[in-house]
Structure 1
Amino acid sequence: MSRTPPLGDQRGLWQAVMAAASGRCQCRGTCGKSHAKDGGRCPAAHGAGPVYLLAAPAEPDHLLLPAHKAAALPKQALAAWCPACHDATRRTANKARQAAEPDRLFDL
């Protein structure tokens, strides 16, 4: 039986992901930006201005998992994301998934 961890456990998980990322977005271009002028990694840092990072699946395909499956991923499968990179990477992964799926509307 799976259960949602208590809020304290979730906060600890978020803190562990942020510590591993040094409080900086871990996107390396999956959002569509090269981040070249920042050494290939998004410069967004947690709490710098209006930016608040979130812990979410590191693999773009895993960003499309249902929430209950994403929440069950281990800490090593998570990354720190700024909202802009997270949303853009998720959109890109969704478009790639749709392009890979055959159009079944007219299959009989």
Structure 2
Amino acid sequence: MSARIPPPADLGMWQAVIAAAAGRCQCRGACGRSHAKEGGRCGREHGGYQQHHGGGTVRLLAAPADPASLLLPPHRAATLPKRALAAWCPTCHHGARTAARKTARAVAPAAPDALFDL
């Protein structure tokens, strides 16, 4: 698979999101890193090489731009319009999802099960 071959999915949507991002991850710190060395935005580009986290070729993902929306079930995330999507490198995507999960757990108190509420 070369750097120019997109993933086997909705190619039109993926290509539009990656083109709007100029082929670069759009994370600006939602993953928990400041990306200060890259000017505040992740420097990973589609088809580029990543030194850390196992190395290899970077394959950008088209996923919800809002970190809270990264927790949507796949069938709901698939219905989002292009303007609600962003390009993410796998490392930033994972970090942003993890941070969103932690935030969601901290904000939402555990609700009692209504079936056994007396």
TM range (shorter): 0.7 to 0.9
Residue 77 in 1 paired to residue 84 in 2? Answer: yes
Letter paired with 2:38: D
Higher helix share: 1
CA deviation vs aligned residue, 1:47-69 (integer Å, no higher than 9, x gap) = 00211000000000000000000
State the TM-score, normalized to the length of structure 2: 0.80
Picking from 48, 52, 63, the partner of 2:70 is 63
Greater C-alpha Rg: 2
Matches within 5 A, 1:1-108: 10-49=10-49, 50-104=57-111
State the TM-score, normalized to the length of structure 1: 0.87
Q: Quick one: percent identity of the two aligned structures? A: 58
Q: How many residues align?
A: 101
Distance (Å, rounded) in 2 between the aligned partners of 1:9 and 1:90? 21
Runs of 4+ in 1 over 3 A off after TM superposition: 104-108
Deviation of 1:71 after TM superposition, in Å, equals 0.3
Distance (Å, rounded) in 2 between the aligned partners of 1:48 and 1:105? 48
